Amino acid sequence: MKILFLDQSGKPGGAELCLVDIAKPYRDRCLVGLFADGSFRNLLEQNQIPVEVLTTHQIQVRKESSLAQGLSSIAQIAPLIAKVVQKASNYDLIYANTQKALVVGALASFFSQRPLVYHLHDILSPEHFSKTNRRIAVTCANRFASLVIANSQASKTAFIAAGGRSEITEVVYNGFDPKIYQIQESEIHHIKQQLGLDGQFVVGHFSRLAPWKGQHILIEALAQCPQEVTVLLVGDALFGEQDYIQHLHQLVTELDVDKRVKFLGFRSDIPLLMAACDLVAHTSTSPEPFGRVIVEAMLSGTRVVAAKAGGAIELVEPGKSGFLVTPGDPQELAQVIITCLKEKEKTANIANKARMTATQRFDVTQTNQQIAQLLSRLPV
Ligand code: UDP
């Protein structure tokens, strides 16, 4: 089966990293069409996945856009749709990996008569999307998609609540290669030394810097923890959240924890950094659609605490594979950090069990098989 994948982003967020794993088995018979240029293109190239930047014009519609803005952007994307229609003639199906890719893919699927698959990586709720954007996504998916792959039960439920058709929607979790998360003790020792983390209890946060990802909650929690606790903030503002970065720097100064917080920026050595942490904290203040970082922490054998909402609830069994806390509550988070610090052995056992469970539940070979099976049922 030849697949034309579409993704709007030039930067590698969770949806894009998931797409790399999905496209790999099709690398000799697929194309990833991007609507922006950037480091995501390089990542695809490094993985020998054919990629082409189909437009460099920014599509103006944003997550909170109104109907008028949405309609005017359709006129803007007409040349892009024409290009996708032309490309699609060489492929058996169109696989839209993001919302703007869905809109373009829906129209291109209509004109090219190729089936459309929509991989839903979002929770289509008012917290994340305007009413107009939810309506556009649901209408395009209902009318044009033969299959919607939701990245969690939470994403599927929100899609159906927004009017999406349940009979075309299947849940497939993100898959991972567990081998990547097996790191040698000597490497951990080396990176800890390099980052000046020796003797510290290290809490890592791995996410783009954005208000809803809640890095500020972790900083507020840190201020209530003993001095030996240090925080690593790994990730950058992918979508222009510069004000938030400034806010975080102000907050660490105000709370007098500037010596205990390290901003590492965007990194490509996530498994190594996670292995060097004693605890990974996920602190999203709005429901997380899936939460790749939660599974990655488990695969690393590192303790994990996640905000109790959305997909995170499906990933973590409290007390058995990690911890769940009320979203936006720094005090509760601080309590879990202190528990992990005081009860190192007991909580390390939980992390070891989580590693085994995650290795079974989220193996990329299995998730890719699930997707291949779903695609094989399509009328191509
Ligand atoms: N990530 C990364 N480098 C960074 C920060 C994060 O590669 O500096 C990765 C992280 O390991 C995870 C992904 O970005 O695989 C984020 O996915 P998640 O589902 O947690 O959040 P999303 O970006 O989809 O909102």
- Ligand 1 closest atom vs CA 270: 11
Within 6 A (CB) of ligand 1 lie 13-15, 17, 206-208, 234-235, 266-267, 270, 290-293, 296
- Ligand 1 closest atom vs CA 13: 23
Tens of each residue's pLDDT in the chain, 380 residues: 999 999 999 999 999 999 999 999 999 999 999 999 999 999 999 999 999 999 988 776 666 666 666 666 677 889 999 999 999 999 999 999 999 999 999 999 999 999 999 999 999 999 889 999 999 999 999 999 999 999 999 999 999 999 999 999 999 999 999 999 999 999 999 999 999 999 999 999 999 999 999 999 999 999 999 999 999 999 999 777 889 999 999 999 999 999 999 999 999 999 999 999 999 999 999 999 999 999 999 999 999 999 999 999 999 999 999 999 999 999 999 999 999 999 999 999 999 999 999 999 999 999 999 999 999 999 88
- Ligand 1 closest atom vs CA 264: 8
CB 43 within 8 A of CB 12: yes
CB 127 within 8 A of CB 154: no
Q: Which of 206, 234, 245 to mutate to test the pocket of ligand 1 (most atoms within 8 A of CB)?
A: 206
Q: Whose CA is nearest to atom 10 of ligand 1?
A: 293
Euclidean distance between CA atoms 355 and 345, whole angstroms: 15
- Å from CA of 291 to ligand 1 middle: 8
Quote the strand ranges of 8-64, DSSP E.
30-34, 51-53
CB 182 within 8 A of CB 195: no
Q: Write the CB contacts of 166 (distance below 8 Å, at least 6 apart in sequence).
A: 156, 160
DSSP 270-339: HHHHHHT-SEEE---SS--SS-HHHHHHHHHT-EEEEESSTTHHHH--BTTTBEEE-TT-HHHHHHHHHH
| List of domains in the chain | 3-175+363-376 (3.40.50.2000), 178-361 (3.40.50.2000)
CB 119 within 8 A of CB 149: yes
- Å from CA of 15 to ligand 1 middle: 9
CB 241 within 8 A of CB 213: no
- Tokens 């954005």, residue? 210
DSSP secondary structure code for residue 176 in this structure: B
Q: Residues in the chain, how many? A: 380
pTM for this structure?
0.95
* Complete edge-to-edge strand list for the sheet that includes strand 93-96: 51-53, 30-34, 3-7, 93-96, 116-120, 145-150, 169-171
Q: Write the CB contacts of 42 (distance below 8 Å, at least 6 apart in sequence).
A: none
- Ligand 1 closest atom vs CA 17: 15
Q: Which of 272, 293, 298 to mutate to test the pocket of ligand 1 (most atoms within 8 A of CB)?
A: 293
CB 297 within 8 A of CB 280: yes
- Å from CA of 235 to ligand 1 middle: 8
- Å from CA of 114 to ligand 1 middle: 31
- Ligand 1 closest atom vs CA 282: 20
